[in-house]
């Protein structure tokens, strides 16, 4: 075995580099990961595809991305190997590759961070989201799931929303996972009915659910189980005690 002849700095500190390196020459896992992932729309689009293949117009509707930008980003994602095009009937849709699916933990962590700290840290006004599609709020519920409380759960909620952006959704919580699908539940344990805007406000902790029930804006049928038994609420800038939903 060769002998080590170099003498270390007597202080034990690393020696200073002779020059400042270029950013791409530094071994920084965070920087290198972001270099591979690309711009901010990458994770947004990959997140939309986690639940299954989607077409161009559906991705536009779900993200609000301008068509030229969306077309460019999808092309880049295909070229980089995160996304592939597949046939679905007579149309072509976009689906995740194995590499794209591998980013699911990253996407979930970012979403959960925003739910738990984003509004508090960034001062985001969540009231504006009551004017957008209720679908986007409902499909964010997996990010809001409290895994500890839902670890042993097996419960199905049916959400019936009226007015602009309304529809019917089924929310299934099973052993620490949450799935959200469009349509009626076959055997719902609890059913909520409300105006879409009211429901968004309740989910985003802008309206107390009990006040909404008293005012006739929200109704609940079925068992005693409540949504906030299983989901984190978006914190206010001055955190308040969570209230039953």
Tell me how crowded residue 73 is: count the other CB atoms within 10 A of its CB: 21
Cα(202)–Cα(212) distance, integer angstroms? 8
Residue 193: is its pLDDT beyond 60?
A: yes
Per-residue pLDDT at 169 exceeds 90? yes
Q: Could you identify the residue written with the tokens 């979403």? A: 111
Alpha helices (H) in the chain, listed in sequence order: 29-37, 40-49, 56-63, 67-80, 98-101, 104-113, 119-122, 134-138, 141-144, 196-203, 209-214
**Positive or negative torsion for Cα 164, 183, 176, 149:** positive
* 76-100 confidence digits (pLDDT tens): 999 999 999 999 988 999 999 999 9
**29-101: what fold?**
Arc Repressor Mutant, subunit A (1.10.10)
Long-range interactions of 233-240: CB distance < 8 A, separation 24+: 233/144, 233/205, 234/115, 234/119, 234/126, 234/144, 234/203, 234/204, 234/205, 235/116, 235/117, 235/119, 235/120, 235/205, 236/119, 236/120, 236/205, 237/119, 237/120, 237/123, 239/120
Helices (H) and strands (E) in the chain, counts: 11, 7
DSSP class of residue 38? Answer: -
Per-residue confidence (pLDDT) for residue 242, from 0 to 100: 45
Half-sphere exposure of 41 (CA within 13 A, CB side): 18
Distance between CA atoms of residues 124 and 102, nearest Å: 29
The domain made up of 125-229 has a fold known as Nonspecific Lipid-transfer Protein; Chain A (3.30.1050)
Residues counted in the chain: 245
Q: Does 125-229 match 29-101 at the fold level? A: no
> pLDDT digit string (tens) for 130-157?
777 888 889 889 988 988 999 999 999 9
Domain ranges of the chain: 29-101, 125-229
Q: What are the pLDDT digits (tens) for 28-78? A: 888 888 888 878 899 999 999 998 999 999 999 889 999 999 999 999 999
d(CA 97, CA 95): 7
Rg (CA), the chain: 23
């Amino acid at each position: 075995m060769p002998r080590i002849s170099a003498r270390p700095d007597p202080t034990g500190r690393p020696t200073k580099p002779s020059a400042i390196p270029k950013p791409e020459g530094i071994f920084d896992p965070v920087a290198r990961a972001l270099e591979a992932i690309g711009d901010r729309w990458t994770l947004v689009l990959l997140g939309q595809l986690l639940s299954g293949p989607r077409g161009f117009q559906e991705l536009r509707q779900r993200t609000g991305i301008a068509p030229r930008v969306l077309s460019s980003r999808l092309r880049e994602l295909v070229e980089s190997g995160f996304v592939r095009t597949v046939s679905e009937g007579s149309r072509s849709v976009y689906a995740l590759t194995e590499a794209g699916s591998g980013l699911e933990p990253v996407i979930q962590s970012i979403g959960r961070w925003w739910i738990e700290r984003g509004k508090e840290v960034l001062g985001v006004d969540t009231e504006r989201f009551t004017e957008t599609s209720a679908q986007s709020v409902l499909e964010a519920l997996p990010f809001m799931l409290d895994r500890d409380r839902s670890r042993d759960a097996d419960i199905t909620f049916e959400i019936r929303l009226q007015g602009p952006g309304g529809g019917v959704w089924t929310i299934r919580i099973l052993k620490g996972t949450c799935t959200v699908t469009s349509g009626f539940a076959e055997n719902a344990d609890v059913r909520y009915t409300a105006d879409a805007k009211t429901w968004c406000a309740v989910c985003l902790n802008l309206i107390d659910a009990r006040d909404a029930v008293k005012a006739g804006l929200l109704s609940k049928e079925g068992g005693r189980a409540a949504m906030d038994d299983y989901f984190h609420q978006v914190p206010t800038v001055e955190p308040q005690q969570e209230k039953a939903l």
